A and B are shown apart, each in its own frame.
Chain A
Amino acid sequence: MSAPRPSAYLANAVRSGGRSAVEVLEESLAAIDAGDGEVHAFNLVMADEARAQAVAVDRTVANGEDPGPLAGVPVALKDNLCTRGVPTTCSSRILEGWRPPYDATVVTRLQRAGAVVVGKTNMDEFAMGSSTETSAFGPTRNPHHTGRVPGGSSGGSAAAVAAGFVPLALGSDTGGSIRQPAALCGVVGMKPTYGTVSRYGLVAFASSLDQIGPFAATVADAALLFDVIGGHDPADSTSLNRPTPRVLSVLDDGVAGLTVGVLAELLDGADPDVVARVRQAADALAAAGARVEEASVPEVVLGLSAYYLIAPGEASSNLARYDGVRYGLRRDAEDTVAMNTATRSAGFGAEVKRRIMLGTYVLSAGYMDAYYNQALRVRTRIIEGFDTAYRRCDVLLGPTAPTTAFALGAKTGDPLSMYLSDVCTIPSNLAGHPAISVPFGPGDDGLPVGVQLLGPSLSEGTLFKVAAVVEAAAPTLAPPRLSQEVRA
């Protein structure tokens, strides 16, 4: 059985002239118009720019040329990806009025592949959060249950795909910000190996952890999008200058002969219904010919603590440039320092301020060795722990998040409980490894559960083919109520 690939069908229909890109786009815009008032997946819908792009795609087809593998496919971008001349806000007041003079590398690659960018999606402010509730523009709601969060920080992109507004979206993942909302919204989300997708034009949160990745309704569509955005970019010094795994071609290869380790530490603390789904996915992989065993990487329990020292440390430096001098918000005051202070006080939300203060503290003279440098040592140990596990296993399996989608407001007063939402996803970021979240039926509350596959660096090919088998075995998940209404 071949994995379902609606975006690929769509692109092929446009490429062959069977459907027009303009018509496909108008369906997407109509769906957004009908449903986004309730979901608030988008900060900005770029209807005019998108129509111009769609017209250009159709013209290319009419001229007998090939617009590319994503011809006419509507794609949503997380609002921390720079788009030339179009506001890029990171869901923060501090970037008010700023229009980047350049496109992120991934945006250029999407356009070269014929994709149509329809808008910028809501997110936790500067990607700091796990529920999209720290956005300065209000939260995004989960299309499966609008009283629940979509996860975060790429909650807008996850919700846009889940709601059927767009078939594809890009997010960024620093500690789970693609995979966790993908799990909570019942879509596929993938974080690539650090360095396989260019960060040029991604507004930085924590540079050594950030990575752009795809959202899609299916594993095959995520693979298609990953193949388009991956590959070396000389504008990003951390971009790997070696062949990026091509994943689309290996998608149907199956799991026979592969060893899958069920990662014990990720099961600890997860809700029983979530654990049950992970076990069920493991059984499905065994049934498909994989060798399934129990695995342990004891060091990963240290991941959350190390992450909350390293990521804020880098963020405190990355966010220093929002000082009111060159762009974005400025609150005037009697001198430069007062202006900096007034601007940053007014422009940043509480969670961003919390992390800037934490990060500034852990890098300060006298504290750096005890906190930041200690966290770097932990990071090295986590990498070594994974290395040991990957000597036995090709991939590791666990939950993506410990719970299904929680209620709006449930954790906003308790940062530590919010931080725990990322406990299963953070280790891959610290290691620089790829990981993918695949929807695997509903939990006891009827809301989506995601299972996560983790692999060593550049194991994307293996991850995607295992993910395709998991997807094929997944219990049925009721489509989001919203997207049913939109389709009706």
Chain B
Amino acid sequence: MKPGWEMVVGLEVHCELKTATKLFCGCPNVFGDQPNTNVCPVCLGLPGSLPVINQRAVELAMAIGTALHCEIRPSTFHRKNYFYPDQAKDYQISQYDEPINVNGHLELPDGTVVGIERAHMEEDTGKTTHAGASGRIHGADYSLVDYNRSGVPLVEIVSRPDMRTSAQARAYASELRAVLVASGASDGKMEEGSMRVDANVSVRRSPDDPFGTRCEIKNLNSVRSLGRAIEYEADRQIDLLESGELVVQQTRHWDEDAGRTQTLRSKEDAYDYRYFLEPDLVPLVPDAEWIRAVADTMAPMPAVRRARLVELMGEEGQARGAVVDQVATVVDLGLDPLVVAAAASGVAPGLALARTANEAANDAEAARRLDVESYVALLSLEADGSLTATQSKAVLAEMLAHGGEPAAIAAAKGFEAMSEDSLVSAVADTISAFPDEWARFCEGDERVGGALIGKVMHATHGQADGKAVRAELARRRG
């Protein structure tokens, strides 16, 4: 972004709740089924049908509120009226002036705190597919509507305009995603649309200036798109202002291929949604006991889990630059229980973190399915020298691919720990084969020691334990 300017960003995130059924009826809440198979009179908006609130959806909304440190309040539903074919009733049932969650915050990994204005419940619409070259409504030959998504429960999380860089916005989206997954409320899949992000962007010359006129950007399908779109939009607004023009408040569409935002509609033709209290539903008044019960069953949030891992690493570990990134990776992928369990069994936390962040993370889905005890057993074999690092990684790859017990896999691969006699004779053979190197090593050239260890490792096909080889070399040198 151009110097001399500051961007102001707030995000609105729609999150599909991971319930078994929809928000107001008993239809399955499943992505990817045959079109119009998960439908009933209620989610098709048939005449005479009435909505009944899904208690589980309310609990997940409260879980999100709890995770974002919101005040959870008695709430009501309104009707948001507008015509659109994928809107079965031609109104959307949504929370309006009395949302269930208000006044929370989300702390980003770098310590930035972003305020949460509200996190309210609403129903999703159906999905329209426009048949034709453009894939958009203009110029389409015809359109098809799938109501499987109609009535799927959503929570819309509205941040305060507290972000000042696109990096912060990306970090917020990533962290929020992690929180939604950790709270059990959502699977957080942006590519399947279960998490959808809109960005409100404005610019100003100084933090002391009032907020500028904002534009809302839609169609952000990844965290990367979010960052690109915000940068583009801020630059666009700065160009306008620097050339003496004004920013017009409008909704803009992010074109991923063209890498720019385009006008969707301006404030003048914004809908009048004619919100009024939904007469088919009664107010939602969760009592303290219910709110507490939801909080009690929640798993710890990513920030708490990161802090726990950092603490495990101790002062020495924390000093290593890589630790922060490794901790973030492991928590983001949900692999921190592996590290915690290994450390509890006496495995060095640094080893557990490194193996998990660098190797297990390569196939996070398989790693999340790993038997924790087997994983701890593997790291113990490596820690006590029964397996070399190279062997340990090979065994782990096998465990991720096909499962199994580490000892059995190691045996099958011929990774039995080398007996002390074999190791002593392998070192002796190497000294005989490389007398010059040995002589330099004996004269105190430590660098050549590494080369000798490498020769032993090569001769034993990696079966020797590097540390034991180093010790034997040192013993012989005297």
Contacts and interface: CB of A to CB of B under 8 A. Distances in A.
Interface in A23-56: none
Given A88-B47, A313-B276, A363-B276, A100 B88 contact: no
Contact of B85 (A206, A325, A365): A325
A325 B45 CA distance: 11
A81 B48 CA distance: 8
B96 interface: no
A320 B272 contact: no
Contacts of A305: none
A326 interface: yes
Q: Which applies to chain B's interface (DSSP): helix, strand, loop or mixed?
A: loop
Given A313-B276, A321-B90, A363 B81 contact: yes
Given A208-B279, A237-B282, A317 B274 contact: yes
Contacts of A207: 279-280
A365 B272 contact: yes
Contact of A364 (B44, B53, B274): B274
B426 interface: no
B404 interface: no
Nearest to B276: A363
B49 interface: yes
Contact of B88 (A82, A234, A321, A368): A321
Contacts of A80: 48
Interface centre among B91, B137, B274, B282 (most CB of A within 10 A): B274
Interface stretch (A197-205, A282-290, A295-303, A404-412): A197-205
Nearest to B140: A335
A457 interface: no
A340 interface: yes
Interface in A294-339: 313-314, 316-317, 320-321, 323, 325-327, 336-337
Contacts of A81: 48
Contacts of B145: 325
Contact of A204 (B48, B81, B137, B276): B48
Contacts of B53: 237
Contacts of B51: 237
B90 A101 contact: no
Contacts of B81: 316-317, 320, 363
A396 to B, nearest CB: 26
B46 interface: yes
Nearest to A206: B279
A56 to B, nearest CB: 25
Interface string B272-290: 1010100111100000000
Contacts of B79: 317
Interface residues of B, number: 29
B293 interface: no
A102 B276 contact: no
Contacts of B5: none
Contacts of A203: 47-48
B88 A340 contact: no
A377 to B, nearest CB: 13
Q: Which applies to chain A's interface (DSSP): helix, strand, loop or mixed?
A: loop
Contacts of A100: 41, 46-48
B50 interface: yes
Contacts of B89: 320-321
A236 B279 CA distance: 11
B296 to A, nearest CB: 27
Contacts of A340: 83
A199 B47 CA distance: 11
B47 A372 contact: no
A260 interface: no
Interface in A204-240: 204, 206-208, 234-238
B52 interface: yes
Nearest to B80: A317
A354 to B, nearest CB: 18
Interface centre among A235, A321, A323, A368 (most CB of B within 10 A): A321
B280 A238 contact: yes
Given A207-B279, A360-B274, A320 B91 contact: yes
A127 to B, nearest CB: 12
A321 B143 contact: no
Contacts of B44: 326
Contacts of A206: 279
A323 B279 contact: no
Contacts of A98: 47
Contacts of A323: 83, 85, 90
Contacts of A202: 48
A202 B45 CA distance: 13
Interface residues of A, number: 44
B471 to A, nearest CB: 74
A472 interface: no
A95 B282 contact: no
B48 A321 contact: no
A237 B51 CA distance: 7
Nearest to B280: A207
A248 interface: no
A323 B281 CA distance: 23
A363 B272 CA distance: 9
A203 B46 CA distance: 9
A418 interface: no
A104 interface: yes
Given A320-B91, A321-B89, A200 B274 contact: no
Interface centre among B47, B85, B91, B281 (most CB of A within 10 A): B47
Given A320-B83, A320-B91, A200 B49 contact: yes
A181 B474 CA distance: 109
Nearest to A234: B52
Interface in B53-98: 53, 79, 81, 83, 85, 88-91
Interface string A116-152: 0000000000000000000000000000000000000
A80 B274 CA distance: 26
A325 to B, nearest CB: 5
Contacts of A327: 46
Interface in A424-471: none
A153 B200 CA distance: 49
A53 to B, nearest CB: 21
A101 B46 contact: yes
Contacts of A90: 47
Contacts of A360: 274
A295 to B, nearest CB: 30
A237 B281 contact: yes
Interface centre among A98, A206, A238, A320 (most CB of B within 10 A): A320
B48 A201 contact: yes
A235 B53 CA distance: 10
Nearest to A372: B276
B48 A82 contact: yes
A270 to B, nearest CB: 31
A235 B42 CA distance: 10
Given A235-B50, A237-B51, A363-B81, 11 more contacts: A80-B48, A88-B48, A102-B48, A200-B49, A201-B49, A204-B47, A317-B79, A317-B274, A320-B91, A321-B88, A364-B272
10 contacts: A80-B48, A100-B48, A102-B41, A199-B50, A207-B280, A321-B47, A327-B46, A336-B137, A336-B143, A368-B276
Interface of B: 41, 44-53, 79, 81, 83, 85, 88-91, 137, 143, 145, 272, 274, 276, 279-282
